[in-house]
Structure formats: C-alpha cells, structure tokens
Amino acid sequence: MAKQIIHTDAAPAAVGPYSQAVAAGPGKTVFLSGQIGLEPGTGELVSENFEGQVRQSFANMQAVIEAAGGSLEHIVKLTLFLTDLSKFASANSIMADIIPQPFPARSTIGVASLPKGAQFEVEAIIVI
C-alpha cells in the first residue's frame, strides 16, 4: 500500500513527530491528525476563548482537507476532544455551522489536557 503525506502551510506545522495527514488506498482515504486552534503563521493559540479555538481548529482542519484535494463534504468521521465537556453544546453549535449535512459520524471525548494548553482538538477521516 502506498501512502501519500499531506502538508500545507495554510495549517500549523506539526508540533511533534507526525504528519498533518496521510492518504492511503485506491479510494484515497485520508487520515488527518488532530488540529488545535493554532494560528498557522505563529504556531500560537488564536485565543484563550474556547469558541475562537474551536473555529480556528476547524479552519486548520479544512486547510489540510483542501491540501489533500478534498472538501468538508468528504468527511466521513470526526473526533472531537474537549478539556471541558460542559462546553460541548458550544462546540456542537459551531460544528453544525461549519460542517455540511448530512453530518459525518462523530465521537466526542473529554480529556484532561491538550498540547499547548488548547481547550479543543478535532481530527477527521475523509474519503475522496
């Protein structure tokens, strides 16, 4: 199986030993690494504000999806990570504004902490 590494400067560089995304298989399934609310140019959190971090995380994810040749319509699975599950309704509302219907499958996980002190992270699987 050949794999293709996906990278774009329109999303933050990886903060560890991983790729932004990897495409595999004849149907081009793309596995995206998690995106937090970092500004691509600075590598710093866009804001201390939860909603701002959620919107930037989705924008970063979209940039990687587009670099892979896809669009938000190609998402088949999302995983959301929140450091405070009491903010789930807010993340849910933002996601509903950004992700087109029919919505993909999704899991939401409460975590103790995220890299760089982020409050939210999103990862995706797309099929092109």
Which pLDDT belongs to residue 26? 78
Q: Which domains does the chain carry?
A: 4-127 (3.30.1330.40)
Q: What are phi and psi of 5, to 5 degrees?
A: -85, 130
Using CA atoms, how far apart are residues 87 and 13, in angstroms rounded to an integer? 27
b/e burial code for range 90-122 (CB count within 10 A of at least 16 → b): ebeebbeeebeeeebeeeeeeeeebeeebbbbb
Determine the pLDDT at residue 121.
Answer: 98
Model confidence over 79-88: pLDDT tens digits?
999 999 999 9
The pLDDT tens digits of the residues spanning 53-110 come to: 999 999 999 999 999 999 999 999 999 999 999 999 999 999 999 999 999 999 999 9
What is the pLDDT, as a whole number, of residue 1?
A: 65
Q: Residue 2 has what pLDDT?
A: 80
